[in-house]
Amino acid sequence: MRKRQRQRTKNRLARVRLNSYCRETSTSWPSCEFLESFEADVRSLTATNRVTWKTLQRLDERLPSLRIALRIDNVTNRAIARLEESPQAPTERARPLIQWLVKIDHPRVKELGATNGVAAREVNEQMRLHQQARLERERDTARLRKKRERERTPKREKDLAMLVKALEKLEKNGWQLSLTAQGGIEIRRRHKSD
């Protein structure tokens, strides 16, 4: 990433107004688009494909002035407080934040689900979907690894066959081959008397 682009991303993350969400007076919740753009900025700074809570903590260690983990924690604490205030309130507006916190494996997600029944169902559903997606990624990774291993085996056999041919050719042309004690091959010119 170029230096100027990196600086722009850091400035955008520093200006993000996370403290305006989930306040007591006017409860506004972060939108899905906002959280996606926030995650994209973090992803570009950290050069990772998947942003997790640990990613945010590591970024805080590298760039402490951004205080991203602290600000996300504060939003989470305020969200828990708002959901506890109204235990049966629908969580339509809170859904993007709940989904995102589950996605990044935030440690307080279960607390968020314990605040009210509707939030608990949402958290459980998102955790189930997240678990399924993770298992699917692991299966895909295992499939690709197996495929690469299968493709590699014939290449090894082909290389070994080529090596055997080259050694046979050397023997025909008057070279003597023998194995050393270390497992190597010693090649010497055969004497005419052999």
Q: What is the pLDDT of residues 37-80, one digit of tens each?
A: 888 888 888 888 888 899 999 988 988 888 888 888 888 888 88
Contact 106, 53 (CB under 8 A): yes
pLDDT digits over 86-105, tens only?
766 657 778 888 888 888 88
pLDDT of residue 116: 73
For the ranges 14-28, 125-139, 171-185, the maximum mean pLDDT occurs at 125-139
Residue with token string 């407080």? 81
| Whole-Å CA distances, 17 to 33, 35, 75, 115, 187 | 14, 12, 10, 25, 73
